[in-house]
């Protein structure tokens, strides 16, 4: 039994690492497109991305062949529990990649929102999502991992899924609160005044939407994890740091902006870990869960604004907008918490 559990843990770890590598490839490609003019499918960033596909496929095939050698004769038992959908995702990833190659060669390379909403890109993203959630699905089978180390493959899997959601909504990650990115309004009416005022309001509105969207995505991942696992302190910090790391680096103009995302993720993770130190009360007490749902995203954005104000040259939002955006981020986390909360006075079956 111990040998079987050990093999299963090794498989979970290898798939979790391969999954995060694949998502890293997606972000390498996204960053290359943001910063360079790309006119061919054959780039080194695509090589990184599709090496993740080959790695996932190779790990799955080795496991399947080993199970066949051990006597498995049906499709459901070819891979460990929870990984059949990962195999489906790998196939969809490959189909989407082949379609993307044909489309790029025939129609050229998409840019901006055309790239974001490209059907082949969405198919690749869906396939990757199915593939990277394998360690998470595996961990949902009883007995569930109890120690932080045992939970790490599932946490890496959830973080990979969170990064994928950021990837699919990347234009709405940046809040552009740094003073150097301010849209300056003229003191007198000029031919450009209306355009600049429109941009000014748009930048503030899109920044607010970035605060709200990131709160919903981060807390959606957090709520799902809290409801399904008896988490150990440190789990939320791992989830938020890994779940925001790639998008933070890719979408930032400077390393300082990337550092702001990283520091804010650590702060939010530490705050969340304070709440999960008492998992039973968090699951059973609606008020404590509500405070958790509001405080974690608000703490993320407070840390982000403070770091930007003191380390990146200031914030161009006035105090009312900044404070209101933080409150809004907490309120939307709270609203999502109302949907996510289900009183769980007991814990799921846990493994030692």
**Strand, helix or coil at 348?**
coil
| Tokens standing for residue 162 | 């969170």
| Tokens standing for residue 172 | 């709405």
Q: Cβ(113)–Cβ(171) under 8 Å?
A: yes
Mean pLDDT to the nearest integer, 160-164: 95
| Dist CA 309 CA 325 (whole Å) | 15
Q: Which of these, 301, 94, 9, lies nearest to 177 by C-alpha position?
A: 301
Please give the helix or strand (H or E) that residue 342 lies within, else none: none
What pLDDT, on the 0 to 100 scale, is given for residue 93?
82
Q: Which of these, 94, 74, 98, 71, lies nearest to 84 by C-alpha position?
A: 74
Is 50 exceeded by the pLDDT of residue 94? Answer: yes
Mean pLDDT to the nearest integer, 235-258: 94
Please list, in sequence order, all residues whose beta carbon lies within 8 angstroms of the beta carbon of residue 5, skipping any fewer than 6 positions away: none
Helices 235-251 and 148-168 cross at an angle (nearest 10°) of 30
What pLDDT, on the 0 to 100 scale, is given for residue 351?
43
pLDDT tens-place string over residues 277-294: 998 889 889 999 999 999
Q: Which of these, 30, 16, 7, lies nearest to 131 by C-alpha position?
A: 16
| Tokens standing for residue 142 | 């009883």
What pLDDT, on the 0 to 100 scale, is given for residue 100?
76
| Dist CA 280 CA 292 (whole Å) | 14
pLDDT tens-place string over residues 215-226: 999 999 999 999
């Amino acid at each position: 039994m111990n040998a079987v559990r050990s093999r299963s843990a090794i498989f979970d770890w290898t798939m979790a690492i391969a999954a995060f590598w694949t998502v890293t490839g997606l972000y390498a490609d996204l960053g290359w497109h943001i910063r360079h003019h790309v006119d061919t499918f054959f780039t080194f960033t695509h090589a990184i991305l599709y090496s993740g596909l080959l790695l996932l496929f190779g790990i799955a095939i080795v496991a399947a062949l080993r199970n066949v050698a051990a006597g498995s004769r049906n499709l459901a038992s070819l891979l460990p529990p929870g990984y059949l959908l990962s195999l489906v995702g790998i196939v969809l990833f490959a189909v989407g990649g082949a379609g993307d190659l044909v489309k790029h060669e025939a129609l050229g390379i998409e840019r901006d929102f055309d790239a974001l909403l490209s059907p082949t890109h969405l198919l690749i993203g869906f396939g990757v999502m199915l593939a990277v959630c394998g360690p998470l699905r595996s961990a949902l089978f009883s007995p569930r991992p109890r120690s932080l180390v045992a939970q790490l493959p599932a946490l890496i899997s959830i973080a990979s899924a969170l990064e994928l959601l950021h990837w699919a909504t990347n234009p709405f990650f940046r809040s552009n609160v740094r003073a150097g990115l301010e849209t300056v309004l003229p003191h007198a009416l000029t031919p450009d005044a209306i355009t600049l005022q429109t941009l000014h309001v748009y930048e503030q509105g899109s920044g607010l939407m970035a605060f709200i969207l990131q709160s919903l995505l981060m807390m959606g991942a957090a709520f799902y994890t809290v409801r399904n696992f008896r988490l150990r302190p440190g789990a939320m910090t791992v989830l938020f740091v890994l779940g925001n790391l790639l998008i933070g680096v890719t979408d930032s103009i400077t390393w300082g902006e990337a550092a702001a995302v990283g520091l804010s993720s650590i702060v939010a993770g530490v705050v969340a870990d304070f709440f999960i130190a008492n998992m039973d009360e968090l699951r059973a007490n609606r008020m404590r869960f509500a405070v958790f749902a509001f405080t974690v995203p608000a703490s993320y954005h407070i840390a982000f604004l403070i770091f930007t104000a003191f380390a990146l040259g200031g914030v161009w939002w006035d105090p009312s907008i900044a404070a209101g955006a933080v409150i809004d981020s907490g309120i939307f986390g709270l609203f999502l918490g109302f949907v996510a909360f289900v009183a769980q006075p007991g814990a799921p079956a846990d493994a030692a």
